[in-house]
Structure 1
Amino acid sequence: MLPAWLEPLPRTDPSAHGVLVRGAAGHLLVDPGWGSRPAVAELRRRLAAAGTAPADVALVAATHFHADHVGAIAWLQAAHGVPAAAHAEEAALVNARDPRAADHDRMGHPVGPYTVGRPFLPGDVLGPPGGPDLVVVDAAGQTPGHVAFHAPDDGVLLTGDLLQDGDVAWVLLDGPEDLEPLRTLVRTVERLAALEPRIVLPGHGPPVVRDVPRVVEATLRRYAGWLEDPGRALRHAGKRAVAFWLMTTWPRAGEAEERMAAEPWLRAVAGAVHGGDERAAAAALLGELDRLGILARRGGRLGTSSAHLPPGPLATGPGDPAAWPPARV
């Protein structure tokens, strides 16, 4: 049974799941999700189903700044003035309108403008007014500022992209020799496991409410295999990235390979696995998704067969951090 203050907000791809942390005088919203108009509409429905409204959110906090986790912050701030909290390293990039904010330079995913007014560091404590205290835990690896939020009294851990049941957090290496992000992820998983959580709420997949050690063991085993063969890590990241891209764009079939080849996330995969040939990497990834039954064809366009929200423009733009208006901190 979940504690009364904890309200999971399950979301539909391409959005990550969110979590509402209830307080007596306002709530904390962790990872509000993707920022497209369909995704924001879903967020409003999920909050309404939880008996609350965006105006009741006192603070929004990010486990990390990837667009599927933080995209809706732009709308929450523009429409409702909700302040945001994030790791100090990621907050500095966001507030500087740096092209590296939200990993935009590496991933190319659009994310609307927002400002972080409450930077934090591991060891700091967050929580809604009149609600539980959440301790910020270092969970670096996928991004340098990735964190988890820990409620030790209830054994609850909010993990962002980590400790998924059935999958693992992808990592985009700069090449097969770039193993430090993987080693960092291993140390992070071991750090989270040492907290001995009873309830884990990841941003993808179902809640883990029993047998957390099994998920930890499966995650470490997967990463150990990637350390032996880093190409597997890059192929995994490529498949995750292309599935996300297809969900959010549904390109014309005849243009898909060419458009994919121009995506920044494809370059790392192409360089490590396909000798730098972006078109070959695009064709290989689309072929792999087709073999797995994930690729869908509809009306002359390519997408994915898994359930997901329809593509749509950002609720609040522009989507490039370098084009955002200056931050007002």
Structure 2
Amino acid sequence: MILPPITLTGHAQKEAWQNKVLPPVERLGQDVWSIPVPFPGNPMRYTLSYLLLGAGDAVLIDPGWDSDAGLDHLTAGLRQAGLGLTDLTGIVVTHFHSDHLGMAARLRIASRAWVALGDREVRRLSASEDLDLVLRTHSEELTLWGVPADRLAEVAVNRLELTHLRNLADPDLRLIDGSLVPAEGLDLRVVTTPGHSPGHICLVDEPHGLIFSGDHVLPRISPHIALELPGPANPLADYYESLDLIAFEDAMEVCPAHEYRFSGMQRRVAQLVEHNRERSAEVLRVLDRHRPETVWDIARHLTWSRGWDSLQAFSLRLAVSETASHVVYLRSQGHDIDVPVTEPRPAVSR
């Protein structure tokens, strides 16, 4: 099915994306700024942070990956808006991923700003958890999914990654669906949109005609929907429901955390639904043709943009966990799939 295209609005951002360079700091309106923060060593290359100025309050959405270079870029962007780090009063993070929440702890110390996450978002690792137990459990789950023994160390999360997750900021505030971000002079409404993470949120700014979509809706790529253990039982079903919630209008400008701005939220949501439906259909075709016995066996027969053999380490882990989410979703739709997938353990918000 050929679906109508979205409308590009972030022309400088797209040009920078195509040229593989950082886009410029941009003023989107009198009180809204887009500030790119480098995401080193990752194909996404940068996170788009957004600064909103209210009546005495200055709120930053998704401060990005924590690094000295990132802080320099963020500080320079704030300077263009006439602010310093100490002028920040609030930091809203769309979800608990390092390229969004990473800089929050450092900024909170520098500015004393509060940090907020959605009330359904979960901390992937607490300070009290036994890292050896987490590592062992994760390896057991990947083994159940069929990851070969000689690839297990490559695919599994490692101690350095876990330590990084444990050091991410705890939120000072939790934002519930439908609430307003507590900042004077701003009208930012919270929409809870689980899928990419258990408690991802989008933010709707009707006075400025903007939707800050985090990773929930991106203009070009389909956000990764993984089966996380522990985590929600059916993240892909959650994602479909969340897409319906955010596709309430088509004219507002969408400000994603990666790539570039666009308008046409309803059109993009239709594309994302179509993409994921086709992916599930491809999983069913693989099951019918190849009779795979594990999630890994399914994944290696699926179509990947750069080919299965190109996937390594973190990207390979994402591919397997994404395939597992489709298996769980298809089972919920009544398909009899005899492939072992551990039922996710409930995750607790902290």
Determine the C-alpha separation between the residues in 2 that align with 1:78 and 1:192.
33
Determine the C-alpha separation between the residues in 2 that align with 1:225 and 1:113.
35
111, 125, 133: which one pairs with 2:180?
125
Determine the C-alpha separation between the residues in 1 that align with 2:127 and 2:305.
26
Determine the C-alpha separation between the residues in 2 that align with 1:233 and 1:37.
38
Determine the C-alpha separation between the residues in 2 that align with 1:200 and 1:57.
23
Match of 1:312 in 2: none
The within-5 A match list for 1:300-315 is none
The percentage of counterpart residues that share the same residue type is 21
266, 269, 285: which one pairs with 1:216?
269
Q: 1:182 to 1:38 in 2, by over 3 A?
A: same
Match of 1:167 in 2: 221
The within-5 A match list for 1:1-329 is 2-13=28-39, 14-90=45-121, 93=123, 97=127, 108=161, 110-111=164-165, 112-129=167-184, 131-173=185-227, 180-196=234-250, 198-208=252-262, 210-230=263-283, 260=313, 266=317, 269=320
Q: Deviations over 1:205-226 (max 9, x none)?
A: 1011x33333222222212122
Helix, strand or coil: the match of 2:243?
A: helix
Residue identity in the other structure for 1:269: V
Q: 1:149 to 1:268 in 2, by over 3 A?
A: same
Under a length normalisation based on structure 1, what TM-score does the superposition of the two structures give? 0.64
CA contact (8 A) 1:139 1:148 kept: yes
Q: Deviations over 1:146-166 (max 9, x none)?
A: 000112333311110022111
Determine the C-alpha separation between the residues in 1 that align with 2:99 and 2:224.
14
Helix, strand or coil: the match of 1:64?
A: coil
Shift, 1:180, TM fit? 2.4
Q: CA RMSD in A?
A: 4.0
Determine the C-alpha separation between the residues in 2 that align with 1:225 and 1:233.
17
Q: Deviations over 1:71-111 (max 9, x none)?
A: 000111223322111112336x38953669xx998863725
Q: Which 4+ runs in 1 deviate beyond 4 A?
A: 103-107, 230-239, 270-273
Helix, strand or coil: the match of 1:28?
A: strand
Determine the C-alpha separation between the residues in 2 that align with 1:237 and 1:97.
36
Determine the C-alpha separation between the residues in 2 that align with 1:68 and 1:197.
28
Q: 1:32 to 1:85 in 2, by over 3 A?
A: same
Shift, 1:65, TM fit? 0.8
Determine the C-alpha separation between the residues in 1 that align with 2:322 and 2:94.
29
Determine the C-alpha separation between the residues in 1 that align with 2:55 and 2:300.
43
Residue identity in the other structure for 1:54: L
Residue identity in the other structure for 2:224: W
Determine the C-alpha separation between the residues in 2 that align with 1:186 and 1:201.
20
Helix, strand or coil: the match of 1:167?
A: coil
Q: 1:271 to 1:193 in 2, by over 3 A?
A: closer
Helix, strand or coil: the match of 1:171?
A: coil
Q: 1:233 to 1:140 in 2, by over 3 A?
A: farther
Helix, strand or coil: the match of 1:89?
A: coil
Q: 1:78 to 1:133 in 2, by over 3 A?
A: same
Shift, 1:268, TM fit? 7.0
CA contact (8 A) 1:95 1:116 kept: no
Residue identity in the other structure for 1:48: R
Q: Deviations over 1:290-317 (max 9, x none)?
A: xxxxxxxxxxxxxxxxxxxxxxxxxxxx
Match of 2:42 in 1: none
Determine the C-alpha separation between the residues in 1 that align with 2:239 and 2:220.
17
Residue identity in the other structure for 2:266: P
Helix, strand or coil: the match of 1:17?
A: strand
Determine the C-alpha separation between the residues in 2 that align with 1:87 and 1:232.
31
Q: Note the residue ranges of structure 2 that are not aligned, 5 or more in a row.
A: 1-8, 10-27, 40-44, 139-155, 284-297, 325-349
Q: 1:180 to 1:85 in 2, by over 3 A?
A: same
Determine the C-alpha separation between the residues in 1 that align with 2:318 and 2:220.
27
Helix, strand or coil: the match of 2:247?
A: helix
Figure out how many residues of one structure are paired with residues of the other and give that number.
249
Q: Note the residue ranges of structure 1 that are not aligned, 5 or more in a row.
A: 247-256, 274-328
Q: Which has the higher contact order (CA 8 A, sep 6+)?
A: 1
Residue identity in the other structure for 1:34: W
